[in-house]
A = this chain, B = another copy of it.
Amino acid sequence: MLKEKTAIYPYNEWEIIEDGFKAENNYRNETIFALGNGYIGMRGNFEEGYTGPSGTGLEGTYLNGFYESEVIKYGEIAYGYAEKSQTMLNVTNSKIIKLYVEDEEFHMLTGEVTEYKRVLDLKEGTLKRSLRWRSPKGREVKIEVKRLISFKDKHLAAISYQVTPLNFNGTIRLLSALDGNVTNLTTENDPRVGSGLQGRVLSVEDKIIEDNFGALIQKTKNTNFTLACAMENEIHAKSSYKLENISTEFMVGVIYTVEAKKDEKITLNKYISYITSRDLKEELLFTMAKDIANRGKEEGFEKILKHQREFLDDFWYRTDVEIKGDIALQQGIRFNMFHLLQSAGRDGKTNIAAKGLTGEGYEGHYFWDTEIYILPFFLYNNPGISRRLLEYRYSILDKARERARQMAHKKGALFPWRTINGEECSAYYPAGTAQYHINADIAFAIKRYMEAAEDNDFLINNGAEILFETARLWADLGKFIENKGNKFCINCVTGPDEYTAIVNNNCYTNLMAKENLQYAYDAAKWLKENKIEKYEQLVSQLNLEEEEIEFWKKAADNMYIPYNEELKIYPQDDSFLDKAVWDFENTPKENYPLLMHYHPLVIYRHQVCKQADVVLALFMLGNKFTKEEKQRNYDYYEKITTHDSSLSTCIFSIVASEIGYYKKAYNYFMNTARMDLDDYHGNTKHGIHAANMAGTWMCLVHGFAGMRIYDNTLSFNPYLPESWEEYSFKITYKGRLIGVTVKRHETSYELLEGEALEMVHCGQKIFLEARQIFSNVI
């Protein structure tokens, strides 16, 4: 089930490089070379468009949280089903710059491309392309393109397009356009790929084109959102040029006609802005879009580029992971971190889609991926972003309360399994709404955040309310069941492993619900002691009773956790061990992932896991289990896990590290670190696997370096994989910036920012003041 693949792109520490263009790689490369800033996302499409065979490309531009809704059609509907879809839209295409050399239009697939290089520059935050083209009639040009989406200004993107005639004097035309005739990819049978949205969803409400400036105002039909997209253009050419405007039904454009001379470079800089009614009042959108594009032009491409570089310098300073002795992994992990940065919404109203802003798979929805897989990466590097991600959950708390009522819970909030706007939009509830653990995952993320960021302000203003409402949900959902020794049981839910659904007492869920209840209880006590006025305000606002809070404690203390005395393992749920083990031996390779080849009932009927479930709990609640328990459970579940989910291998790697299965830990890590870069699952074309990318970082920091935070104490238990020379990374923790370097026999910690700190290295308390070196105990 784990695959071995050779590298697709040449190894390079800071760049992803495409050496030669092949149409069969185009679709995948559009994802690999995608740019984004957490708000705007652009697939790595060519400015000139793409003329290759259908099904080998997807022109895509996305705005985080900008979606259309349609009524979901069910074969047979029932009460409480998700009513409306939410699909992140493919929006106005602003990448367009078309080049005409005399009467010939440049495309990657016409004429002859004699030199070619495309680079995703992780340090600069740009996508660069340089090539030489010989037209069918023999005219040669050199083309250099640089594109970026600004990390500093979330509404801004820019393209610098340079063309130099190499063997002729003649007319060169450049068309810079905005195209509103955009549609989403329609898929009927695979929700992992696209949506069911048919045809053009965005209407064109207004078109503006004047001199170098153009704008489109577009509107969605059902959600009634408005979008403004504007461009400013500037041309630099030694020769004279002429400017014309064009406007068609869905498009506006500026055409520059230059009487070009051999070897004289022509540069077209394009400044693009996007802004929507989800950000700003509708009537201001056009003005603001225009302003942003203008501001970009005034600043100029080079200055924007400088800001981008500065932003990334800081990002890499705080975030970079160095691996000496394995350039492939070095490249993979940096590629992953860069894409994570590109994916994360950071306005408190948006989050991280399963495929970032690089594709349409899973419709741009936010899942538990954020809290459980991605949040640690930001929390220990850029805690500000992790707060914004949690604020997003607070912003949808009211909708979660409504959903709880719909699900017959008298109190509390039930967060949606998948959503953009806060409403549940999973159309298959056994692997959707039934995953109640989302509530505990969010609560757990708050706990993690509070431990590392000590952000009382967040707890007081947002966190406590989420904790109380999620705890209330568990209190209403669970029951003390006589048949189970009067323990607190949680029935008919689905755990993280989607190959078993609607079960009683899913081990992960119960463990995490217990944690949720306990932490909500603790938070209530803390708030009452430390911020009584806020406590009283919340109590009154939520009609919260003292007995409820005490009940949380009681439920947590009495939570039922399934355990099998004979095998001495935690069964995934009450009946998991009553099922036959999947017949792996007689399952042909092409039948994976199983869900694409077997009816859900067939899968649910067997002991077979799509992904870590109990094993995930072993990591997340690591201080609740002994090492022997971890090993026994790991051994049991590893045998029956297919890793059909990209969320699986990183967790197995971390736990393998902890129990000393270093070879396994390394192999699983290899699988996560370059999953998209080497296209292990063959579906990178549909977008990156954001959670897996963050899993890479977790494998290294939580896995190899053994970083944990238990009982408010930071600890490491580092190990250096055999083939590496050393690795180092930084951690932001309680206001400190700590550098960690792991070598074969020793680990050094360096306090780069903040005050001295008591922490633990290999089980021994240490007091970190400056740079200190300790030997590894492995």
Contact = CB atoms under 8 A, between A and B. Distances in A.
A483 B581 CA distance: 12
A575 B577 contact: no
Interface string A478-493: 0101011000010111
Interface string A181-223: 0000000110100000000000000000000000000000000
A600 B74 CA distance: 15
Nearest to A494: B601
Contacts of A481: 578-580
A501 interface: yes
A433 interface: yes
Interface in A384-431: 406-408, 426-430
A78 interface: yes
Contact of A483 (B406, B484, B578): B578
Interface string A422-451: 000011111011100000000000000000
B600 A78 contact: yes
Interface string A65-85: 000000011111111111001
A8 interface: no
A79 B595 contact: yes
A406 B72 CA distance: 26
A504 interface: yes
Interface centre among A85, A426, A502 (most CB of B within 10 A): A502
Contact of A502 (B77, B407, B502, B598): B502
Interface residues of A, number: 53
A259 interface: no
A188 B85 CA distance: 17
A580 B502 CA distance: 16
A502 B504 contact: no
A575 B504 contact: yes
A756 interface: no
B483 A577 contact: yes
A597 interface: yes
A542 interface: no
A18 interface: no
Interface in A98-137: none
B430 A599 contact: no
A567 to B, nearest CB: 9
A574 interface: yes
Contacts of A744: none
Contacts of A80: 598-602
A408 B599 CA distance: 8
Given A479-B580, A504-B575, A579-B481, A602 B408 contact: yes
Contact of A427 (B76, B189, B426): B76
Contacts of A427: 74-76
Contacts of A483: 577-578
Which residue, of A426, A580, A595, has the highest number of chain B Cβ atoms within 10 A? A580
Contact of A407 (B78, B492, B601): B601
Interface in A595-617: 595-602, 604-605
Contact of A601 (B75, B492, B596): B492
Contacts of A595: 78-79
Contacts of A407: 599, 601-602
Nearest to A426: B76
Contacts of A408: 598-599, 602
A492 B605 contact: yes
A480 to B, nearest CB: 9
Contacts of A432: 76
Task: Pick from A408, A426, A433, A598 the residue with the most CB of B within 10 Å.
Answer: A408
Interface string A490-514: 0111000000011010000000000
Contacts of A597: 79
B428 A75 contact: yes
Interface string A44-83: 0000000000000000000000000000111111111110
Contact of A79 (B81, B502, B596): B596
A501 B502 contact: yes
Interface in A353-392: none
A749 B406 CA distance: 58
Given A502-B502, A580-B481, A429 B601 contact: yes
Contacts of A580: 479, 481, 491
- Nearest 4 A-B pairs (CB), nearest first? A75-B427, A80-B599, A492-B605, A76-B428
9 contacts: A73-B73, A73-B75, A76-B191, A77-B189, A80-B602, A81-B599, A407-B599, A407-B602, A430-B430
Given A77-B188, A408-B599, A501-B502, 9 more contacts: A75-B81, A78-B595, A80-B601, A479-B579, A481-B578, A489-B578, A492-B579, A492-B601, A502-B604
Interface of A: 72-82, 85, 188-189, 191, 406-408, 426-430, 432-434, 479, 481, 483-484, 489, 491-493, 501-502, 504, 574-575, 577-580, 595-602, 604-605
